[in-house]
Structure formats: structure tokens, C-alpha cells
Structure 1
């Protein structure tokens, strides 16, 4: 049996799983990402839990082809390190591949977490059999995995797909990155909650904003429809740039479902440059919370 270990490192939790060549998740464990300790201590904990999974499955280390790791960017895949991730501030310049590889004696590969989610959806998810598509996660932040001609486009250092920092409307103000009008500043879950709070003059969550949207609160409907239009702008730019056949939407905000999809599709139908591009399909991602582990495993098994 040929297996891989997938590790998905996030700002609050880390998921570790063992996958077979068909993409089946044989077992997984989720542990807190403890930001009060140094990253090498977290690597100790990841390694301990990984070894426990291997023991529980009664598999040999020889059956494991390697370890794939997904982490938030910016990263440097050539140097195998996490560079300066906003969600992991204590991990700056941490040489993850070297550290983990030394502990386990297996090949370790690192990629951006959103890129790996795209790889997972192509392997066994919504985009199975698709060769040219973009996976976009709309959650706390916004990122993307770009698949062209059946291959992941990762860029020179592994940071391709930072679509959250495309400028779509400077009138929305200054993003945390310093630019005005970034997509992430406008349409991420964090941004939607912030704008709802400003509009209503009281603290609201993203979930509460969408509940009011479905209840047809006039102010919120206008706000959310404007946000959907800005997502449409970004998607048209990406379609014009990449000439893709499909957009797959993942992340918590995408669970809004058809209202968002219909709005973006309408925008694409009106404004995509190529007549064929106006037919670009939009689908929801299908792998849920396991997408990061599965994508990390795909990094090893889909050679």
C-alpha cells in the first residue's frame, strides 16, 4: 500500500491525516495550533500525533511515500520555510521542511494551503476531471488555488493565488496590506462582519449579517449585493487572465450558496471578455473541512 501524510496548519488548529492513493482519508486528528509556544514545539506535537496515527493504523513507515504540508502564506517552497504569515506571527522564517524532515526521515513538501485545496478538489472533489479551473476560498481571508492544464500553478516561491489582494474598489478603504480596495478587505468573512457592524452601529458576526440578508433587511441586502458584485469583478478579471472553465468556491462565506453563485454568474455573463468565457461555471467545493489534509496528501501522491 502507498500512503501519504497530509498536514494542514492553520492559525487556530492543525489537522493531520493519513491518505491512500485513491484519496481516501484513513484516519485523522485535529490539534490546537498553540501560538504561545515556538514553532519547533508545535512540530514536536505534530510529530507525536502523526506517529500515533501510524501506530493506530498498524502501518509500516515504508508504506508512507512522504508528507505534504499546507500552511498560510507567505511561504517559500524553494527554501521550505514559512516566511511571514499574518495568522502565524511567531513562525516567521521557520524552516518547516528541514525541521519536520529531520524528525521523521521522510520527504516533506510544503505548499500554500489555498493552492492545496485546489489540488484536492481536482483530485477527488468538485473539479474532478477539470484541467483549467480556479479554486477560491472565501473565509477569514481570501486565497486561491490555480490549476492550468491539470497542474498546480504555484509560482516561483509558492505564493501564486493571493487573489485576496487584487484591488477591486479603492473606495472601500485601506486593506491591512496597505493597498486600497483589496478583495479580501471587501468580501472576506471578516470584512463582511466589519461592514455589517459599521452599518448597523452594533457588533454583528458574518453569520448574523447573512441571516439578516435572507430575512431581507433592506440595508443589509444592499450591502451584501454590492459585495457580491465586487466578487464578480474579481472573478471576471481572473477568467480574462487565466482562460479557465470553472470557478470552485470554498470557505465559510461560500456556504451562503446560490444567492452568491447566481450574482457572480450574472456578472460574468455580462462582463467577461470572451463570449465563451461568459459560460464559465461556478460550483461549490465539496470536500469541506478535510480539503486541506487531502490537498496536502495529493502533493505527495499525485506526482
Structure 2
């Protein structure tokens, strides 16, 4: 209970931005004045908060404002993508202190883990941060995952990754505690940490990476699912007349909505010659980027391909919002910024027509506040979240 109350107090200070006095903390947390005094004394001794001036608000003694010491703790986030790995160093407030990206060297797990370890060491050295202040490393990886064992199980875009013990291998390579999370769930946690919506915030996060995934936030917390693999949407049918999928259906998200699927549609439409000798992630990304650039420049065939992709994405979005009954939709991921203009123009109206609750309310559609690095930022936030955020489940006694 003491740890929980301390987390509640620290979270209230963090979310306030400008800091709170002890009296304001009593109102914000519902804790007694004596409990708040004891907790803030410990937080001051630990260097997590500091006194930041006095304010006069009515009769009585001036109130001392307590603020978060952002540089007191840090976390590292890693986003593992088949094409590129992104690394960020976050401070306690969730601000990115430093970032870097490296091409994913090969699909060989051992070489990738070695590259992760080297890049993490270089990131810390470049930032000049004491390693003792780093709370841990969070890794956002494509699913499915075995959360209990910390393994990555046969992700479709990472060939050769069969039950790779990524959590243990990276912990050994870096010396830090490692948290492994799905990239989609990490993105939702990053959105929750940085957007600072009300505590009952609920949204579906649609993640646009090399693959497409979804995550759910309910009552201000990310929902993980019983195996922590919620959000596998690749085989939801969004175009019954679309291409055949490996699952036996036609027009699944996997073969219609992914960057590779969109590039293949552009080739069939004659926007590009179908002359790619390889279809690896790097080659697909280069052609996808050019497709979006041509659409922005007014190339109508390119724009038509993206509008059709937006139509399919609206179907997926409607399926998710009708089922989950959330307050809003958030798009993000490494490919989001290239699609944002078209998708934000096309999807809201289509979603409204398909929404089961359109007579009750409209569902806002927005882009993430985090940016293209949402996977890595979210992974680092998962570390901070696990260390600092209050959870009522933590109050339950072990059987």
C-alpha cells in the first residue's frame, strides 16, 4: 500500500507539469495530509522531486511547490522493426533526451542483439548519463510474444526468429533489466504517457509499421490481453474481393493495408513498373515513400492508390471501434507521417458512415502526439510505467 500511494503521489506531480503543493496533492490523491507529507519527504530524499519556490494562495503560510526532477531517472526504448531499429533515451517526464536509428543488420537474432547492445552503450555514452540512473530497457517487438518467457515467436516479417529469448539475451548484453512488449501495446503506452488525457481515456491505437497492428487503452491504461498479444488484426477481412491471403481468405489486412500491399497495388495500377528484384523491407519502404511523395505532388494515379488504401483502413477502423466502443482512434507508427494527410482526410467520414454509434456520437480520428518514434518511445515509457505508475492490481495479495 505504501508503494502504491507513493506511485499515486509521484504520478500526480508528473501529470501536473508545473508541480503541486502538499495541500494540492491531498486534494489530487485523496490521501491524508500526514501521508502526503511522509511520501513527499521520501521522494525528496530520493531526488525524484524537488522544492520549486513558494506561492501565496489566500491566508496562511506560503505553499511550497513540488516538481518532478526529470533527470533523476531515465529509461531506454528500442523498437525492433525488420527494416530499421530505433533507440531513444527518455527522462522521467517522458521527454526524449537522445535518439538514434540503425538499419536492422540481418534477420539473424544473434547479430541483431549484438547491434542493440552496442547501440545502447553508444547512446548512453553520447548523452553523458550515469548508468545507475537508468531504470531499464524496454523493447517493442512485433508479435506474437511469450510474455512469461520473454521470447519472440515467429513474427511474420522476421524470418528465422523462432522463440528467440530476446529479453534474457539483451539483459545479458547490456546489464540492464529488460522489459519486452508488443510494438502496438508500447505505442499505446507512449500515447498515454505523453498525451495526458483524463484518467478515463479510452482509445484504439492503429499501428502502421511494416505490419499493421492495433492496441487498446481503457480507463487510462493499456489493455494487454490474457497472453499480452492483443491486437493481431492481420487476418481481418477488409476487402472481400481483394488478393488471396495465406490464411485462405481474401482481402485481409495483411494483403491489403500494409506498406508492401499498397506498393503492390501501385504496381498493379501502373504507378510503378513491376520490376523490383526483391521485396525486402528496405526496398518496399523506398518505393512506398516515393508513392506518398508522388501523391503529395498531385500524381492522380498515386493519390488514387492511397485513397483506396484509406477506404480499406476505414473498414478495419470501424470493425475495431464498433467492437471496442472507444472514445477515439489514434493512428501512429513509422509509416504514419507519410499517410497522415490522406488518411485524416478520408477515414473520418467513412468511419462515421460505418459506425454503429453514429447516432450517439462522432468518434474523433487523430494522429499520435509522439511521432514516428512512437514504438521506441512507448517501449521506454513501458519501463517508466512499470516502475512509477500506480496500479490497483499491485494491491492484490499473492495466493
Taking a change above 3 Å as real, the CA distance of residues 177 and 113 of structure 1, as seen in their structure-2 partners, is farther
Query: Could you tell me whether the CA contact under 8 Å between 2:306 and 2:342 is conserved in 1?
Result: no
Q: Given the alignment of the two structures, is residue 274 of structure 1 paired with residue 353 of structure 2, yes or no?
A: no
- 23-32 vs 109-118, which deviates more? 23-32
Between the aligned partners of 1:26 and 1:290, the Cα distance in structure 2 is 13
Are residue 8 (structure 1) and residue 8 (structure 2) matched?
no
* Alpha-carbon displacement from aligned partner over 1:107-151 (angstroms, at most 9, x marks no partner): 2111111221121122114x7447201111234321122211111
CA contact 1:245–1:277 (8 Å) conserved in 2: no
Quote the Cα distance in structure 2 between the aligned partners of 1:34 and 1:244: 39
Aligned CA distance change for structure 1 residues 218 and 53 (closer, same or farther; 3 Å): closer
* Alpha-carbon shift at residue 211 of structure 1 (Å): 5.4
Change (3 A) 1:172 1:77: same
Q: 1:66-87, CA deviations, whole angstroms, 9 ceiling, x for partnerless residues?
A: 2111111222212200100122
Write the mapping of 1:1-303 to structure 2, written as runs, cut at 5 A: 1-35=72-106, 38-125=108-195, 128-129=197-198, 131-200=201-270, 202-203=272-273, 205-210=287-292, 213=295, 223-251=305-333, 252=335, 255-275=338-358, 278-303=361-386
Residues 188, 253 of structure 1: 8 Å contact kept: no
Distance in structure 1 (CA, Å) of the matches to 2:248 and 2:152: 21
Runs of 4+ in 1 over 6 A off after TM superposition: 215-218
- Superposed CA offset, 1:165-201 (max 9, x none): 2112221021245432212321222212111211228
**Alpha-carbon contact 1:73-1:82 (below 8 Å) kept:** yes
The SS at the match of 1:180 is coil
- Shift of the 30–231 alpha-carbon distance from structure 1 to 2, 3 Å rule, reads closer
Which one has a bigger Cα radius of gyration? Answer: 2
SS in 2 for 1:85: coil
Q: How far apart, CA to CA, are the structure 2 residues paired with 1:54 and 1:215?
A: 40
TM-score normalised per structure 1: 0.87
Distance in 2 between the 1:220 and 1:62 partners?
51
Q: Deviations over 1:29-87 (max 9, x none)?
A: 32232216x42333233223322333343433331212111111222212200100122
Q: Could you report, residue by residue, the CA deviation over 1:223-243 in whole angstroms, capped at 9, with x for unpaired residues?
A: 544432222221111111111
Q: Deviations over 1:238-294 (max 9, x none)?
A: 111111111111242553334422322112222211236651001122322321221
Q: CA deviation at 1:215?
A: 6.7
Deviations 1:7-36 (A, max 9, x none): 111112222222111111222332232216
- RMSD over aligned CA atoms reads 2.6
For structure 2, the residue ranges without an aligned partner over 5 or more in a row are 1-71, 275-286, 387-399
| Partners of 2:84 and 2:104 within 8 A in 1 | yes
